[in-house]
Amino acid sequence: MPRLFIAINLPEVVADHLALVQGGVPGARWEARDKLHLTLRFLGELDGGTARAVAEGLAAVTQPRFELGVRGVGHFPPRGEPRSLWAGVDDPTPLHALHDRIERVLIRIGVPADTRKFAPHVTLARLRDAPRGRVLAFLEHHALLETARFEVVDFALMSSVRTAGSSSYRVEQRFPLT
């Protein structure tokens, strides 16, 4: 059964820009360029009926289109040993509004509320035994990262299917913003 999540896919120019900064950290497993996205909500494995209800509920979400840019870098967790590197966004306000609308729809459907605080980001790499000095050097070197701004015209219900040693993502359904 595929794992589902809700995301904003990045335009090619932004994904290309982010792919160019990936590197220089031993122990980093860099996300493939075609897998770079901004997750709005992870859903996990859902049965077919719940997945259909989610898609129907998402179709009713309304929000105006908005502009977004990717800016800055950081790591999770914010304290302690870094486990992932990410790129942030320049203005999270419209993303928080969209996330909140989606969360309300999901709760109405019966999907348990997300207990984690929403922190808009694009995962660049997952880390395993990465030298702390190299992680800090990456963060310092790319602290002023800024991509071209782009118009967010939709969000998508995505699936992740595990393959040998990796996974692939597929758009299941797109939901236009007004």
Mean pLDDT of 104-130: 95
Residue 24, amino acid: G
pLDDT at 125 over 80: yes
- DSSP assignment string, 61-86: -----EEE-EEEEEEESSSSS--EEE
Residue 159, amino acid: S
pLDDT at res. 1: 63
Residue 34 tokens read as 């075609």
Closest CA to 170 of 33, 30, 29, 35: 35
Residue 164 tokens read as 């040998």
pLDDT at res. 165: 73
In the chain the beta strands, taken as DSSP E runs, fall at 3-9, 28-30, 37-45, 66-68, 70-76, 84-89, 122-127, 150-152, 154-163, 166-176
SS3 13: helix
Placement of tokens 């870098």 in the chain: 73
d(CA 125, CA 29): 5
Mean pLDDT of 95-114: 96
> Could you read off the pLDDT of 147-159 as tens digits, one per residue?
999 999 999 999 9
The average confidence (pLDDT) of the chain is 95
pLDDT at res. 51: 95
What is the percent of the chain where pLDDT is above 90?
92
pLDDT at res. 115: 92
> Could you read off the pLDDT of 18-59 as tens digits, one per residue?
999 999 999 999 999 999 999 999 999 999 999 999 999 999
Placement of tokens 């502009």 in the chain: 67
pTM: 0.94
Domains, the chain, in order of start with CATH, read: 3-176 (3.90.1140.10)
pLDDT band with cut points at 50, 70 and 90 for residue 162:
confident
Residue 116 tokens read as 């984690």
d(CA 91, CA 109): 29
d(CA 67, CA 149): 6
